[in-house]
Amino acid sequence: MQDFASSDFDPDAKKRIAYEELLNPQQYAAVTTDAAVALVIAGPGSGKTRILIHRVAWLLDKGVPPHSILLLTFTNKAAREMMQRVYELSGGAAEELQGGTFHSFGRRILQPHAELLGYQRNFLILDRSDAKELLSACLLDANIETKGKLFPKPDVLLEMFSASQNLSMSLEEVIEKRYSTFYEKTEQIEELCREYTRRKLDQNKMDFDDLLSLPLRLFKEHPDLLEYYQRRFTHILVDEYQDTNHTQNELLELLAGQTQGLMVVGDDAQSIYSWRGACFQNILEFTERHPDAATYTIETNYRSTQPILEVANESIAHNIKQFPKKLETFHKAQPVIPKPVLVTCGNSYMQAERIASQVEELRMEGTPLREICILYRAHHHAMELQMELRKRNIPFKITSGIRFFEQAHIKDISSMLRLTYSPCDETAFKRLIRKLPGVGPKTANRLWYAFAGSEWPESLGAGLDRVSPRVPAKARELWEQFSQSMKKVDPVTTALSVPEMIDSLLEDFAREWMLAEYENGPFRLDEVEQLKLYSEQFEGLEDFLCEMALQTNADGEQDGTEEESDRLGLSTIHQAKGLEYDVVFVMMLCEGMFPTFRSMEKSENLEEERRLFYVAVTRARKHLYLIYPQCRSLGGNFERQLPSRFISELSAEHFEIQTDAQSRNPFQSRRRRFDFEDDFNDSEEDPF
């Protein structure tokens, strides 16, 4: 919770706020509502933060005591910014306003009442690293038998426990629905969860999920406390309501049971986080839970041009489950407004070249690189683009995290391949051997000397066999799985291509191992599959490994004389939510990539993918480029790609259509979106 001093407090300042001048009519109606319960659907760029801070100021003007107002947000940054703006707007009148994240609010509730749950008031909060360490100790002491199948690592276990709490599902249900690989281990996992919970209590520690679930339990077990907090907070405001999970919403509904004013602000069309527990039904069914709620739709957009908004409007209209709205730009007086550009490229390499060329052109025309962002659905979509940018010495930063080739699961596969190519690769060997249970730095060093005990070259299997007797007992079975898998791809005894090597490693060992080793295992496996496809363009293992090394070390080579702040942005769409740029490229817009094949299995998943596309489009202020490659390499061959339905659902009139000389306009075949074979066969010139 944030508190601000009132050193320059002007008691009359709050009375001088000109709401009608500061707000548009839609914002003003929401801010000044007398409704006890209100749902505000605020589209992208519509000023939802402005609505919230002015709503607080309005309540203060009406005489609501600041300590009776609770403002809940999702990030500490948002909380600090919002509280500061409220303070400045109200002239210091919001000094005692209660505001912060759901987690910080949970801590404030728990601290004075911890004894009721068996804790002491001075409890400590475990961060992710601390929670992992504590769970690792539980796993070590449990001495769990893991023969037959790999047992999930602490990161994966914590992901399971968190899903169970935040989705209000039993751990068994979570495992069955999301982690079916480990279903036969359910009993052991449940026992670990109980032990982890017991140790937290014994050590007077809580993790982040406890900060939500324990206040909920406290309110359910102690109705008198719930009533006290219901009376205390007469007005509750919630930011980014579409991102709440089941536990957060249940906590909110209990707290607001007797409130004089509940306002939730969000955008159902920007609900894109179901994979991390967000419950879309919370905002969609709000008016069903609160039949008397007033609904306000904020459609004036202060960010994007109208042509960009037309694309967003038409796209999201295809979703059935939504609150309908139509965004209108505030900037209507611009003399020349360019249409979004739809670019059709022959293949993914041409796509990378096209984007890089356009970036260079924009840069020459005066657009700073920091005002340009390339958005993609998944990390692996940008592999060819990263190569092209590096080749052209265009500095870039990845907003969404580390580069594709630097991700842990990609480096694991790389290490396996490096070890087959060069068994004297100490770094690769030690990275892999330390993944085994009970193998620390000293043991890894001892095993390395056993492995490298002869002159190379010799078969990889000979070195692996020397290690086997020296592997700790608890790791021996896993080692044997790994060893046998590596022997099958040994270049001395086999003649496999790089894609065949990756396939073999996945089939015999790596697939099951990664599901146990890493959170978000299925997504990581998807990226390994894309690495396999990427490897098809190289003549042999040596070329492939060299290119991977170059891409991994690209950071230090591309800085040049550019200022750190002026770099092209690359980001997944999820990570770009809340950001905006003058120029946005959305790439790899083909069926199976965006939307993903996995999302097509259920209508609700497909609608979330469309909401993700909507978020991507609305990041752009001035210029929007949508790019679709007609082919990509699969299984050693070029396979035709269908344009994403998110393109073919749109009207061609919204776009300036640009095609490579060898490419076809995707709108020409809209009526047969799932059967393009004839169109391609009729083409006078094959793009390859």
Q: What is the pLDDT of residue 494?
A: 82
**DSSP of 417-463, one letter per residue?**
HHHHH-TT-HHHHHHHHTTSTT--HHHHHHHHHHHT-SPSSS-HHHH
Structure tokens of 681?
């066969």
Rounded distance between C-alpha atoms, residue 247 and residue 215, angstroms: 10
Q: What is the pLDDT of residue 437?
A: 78
pTM for this predicted structure: 0.78
**549 has pLDDT over 70:** no
Q: What is the pLDDT of residue 454?
A: 61
**298 has pLDDT over 50:** yes
> Where would I find the H helices in 468-584?
476-487, 498-505, 511-517, 521-535, 541-552, 573-576
Measured from the Cβ of residue 508, the count of other Cβ atoms closer than 10 Å reads 18
Instruction: Return the ∠ at Cα 124 (arms to 120 and 130), rounded to 5°.
Output: 140
**7 has pLDDT over 50:** no
Please tell me which residue, 629 or 546, carries the higher pLDDT value: 629
CB 283 within 8 A of CB 264: yes
Q: What is the pLDDT of residue 686?
A: 32
**325 has pLDDT over 80:** yes
Please tell me which residue, 540 or 114, carries the higher pLDDT value: 114
Please state the separation of Cα 374 from the chain's center in Å: 16
Measured from the Cβ of residue 536, the count of other Cβ atoms closer than 10 Å reads 15
Q: What is the pLDDT of residue 4?
A: 33
Average pLDDT over residues 543-552: 69
Residues 6+ apart with CB under 8 A from 614: 44, 269, 270, 312, 315, 316
Rounded distance between C-alpha atoms, residue 166 and residue 34, angstroms: 33
Q: What is the pLDDT of residue 552?
A: 59
For the chain, percent of residues with pLDDT exceeding 70: 87
Average pLDDT over residues 227-237: 93
Rounded distance between C-alpha atoms, residue 39 and residue 267, angstroms: 10
**284 has pLDDT over 90:** yes
Q: State the chain's mean pLDDT as an integer.
A: 84
Rg (CA), the chain: 28
pLDDT tens digits, one per residue of 10-43 = 444 444 788 999 999 999 999 999 999 999 999 9
Q: What is the pLDDT of residue 401?
A: 56
Q: What secondary structure, in 3-state letters, does 176-208 show? A: HHHCHHHHHHHHHHHHHHHHHHHHHHHCCEECC
pLDDT tens digits, one per residue of 44-60 = 999 999 999 999 999 99
Rounded distance between C-alpha atoms, residue 433 and residue 441, angstroms: 10
Q: What is the pLDDT of residue 234?
A: 93
The CA-based dihedral angle spanning residues 19, 22, 28, 32, taken in that order and rounded to the nearest 10 degrees: -30
Q: What is the pLDDT of residue 561?
A: 41
Question: Phi and psi (nearest 5°) for 373?
Answer: -140, 135
CB 658 within 8 A of CB 343: yes
What is the number of residues in the chain? 688
**638 has pLDDT over 80:** no
Question: Phi and psi (nearest 5°) for 98?
Answer: -95, 120
Q: What is the pLDDT of residue 510?
A: 83
Measure the N-to-C terminal CA separation of the chain; round to a whole number of Å: 60
Please tell me which residue, 150 or 685, carries the higher pLDDT value: 150
Average pLDDT over residues 376-393: 89
Show which residues are catalytic.
48-49, 239-240, 270, 619
pLDDT band at 676 (very low <50, low <70, confident <90, very high): very low
Minimum mean pLDDT among 425-429, 453-457, 476-480: which range?
453-457
pLDDT band at 398 (very low <50, low <70, confident <90, very high): confident
Minimum mean pLDDT among 211-220, 396-405, 578-587: which range?
396-405
Average pLDDT over residues 134-156: 77
Measured from the Cβ of residue 662, the count of other Cβ atoms closer than 10 Å reads 17
Please tell me which residue, 631 or 246, carries the higher pLDDT value: 246
Rounded distance between C-alpha atoms, residue 673 and residue 653, angstroms: 18
Q: What is the pLDDT of residue 12?
A: 47
Please tell me which residue, 122 or 315, carries the higher pLDDT value: 315
**DSSP of 90-108, one letter per residue?**
TTTTTTT-EEEEHHHHHHH
> Where would I find the H helices in 256-365?
281-284, 286-289, 306-316, 348-364
Q: What is the pLDDT of residue 355?
A: 96
Alpha carbons within 13 A on the beta-carbon side of 661: 2
Average pLDDT over residues 486-496: 84
pLDDT tens digits, one per residue of 439-472 = 888 888 888 888 876 665 567 888 888 888 888 8
Rounded distance between C-alpha atoms, residue 551 and residue 359, angstroms: 20
pLDDT tens digits, one per residue of 121-141 = 888 888 887 888 888 888 878
CB 545 within 8 A of CB 405: no
For the chain, percent of residues with pLDDT exceeding 90: 45
Minimum mean pLDDT among 90-99, 115-124, 588-597: which range?
90-99
Q: What is the pLDDT of residue 146?
A: 52
Average pLDDT over residues 479-502: 86
Average pLDDT over residues 71-91: 82
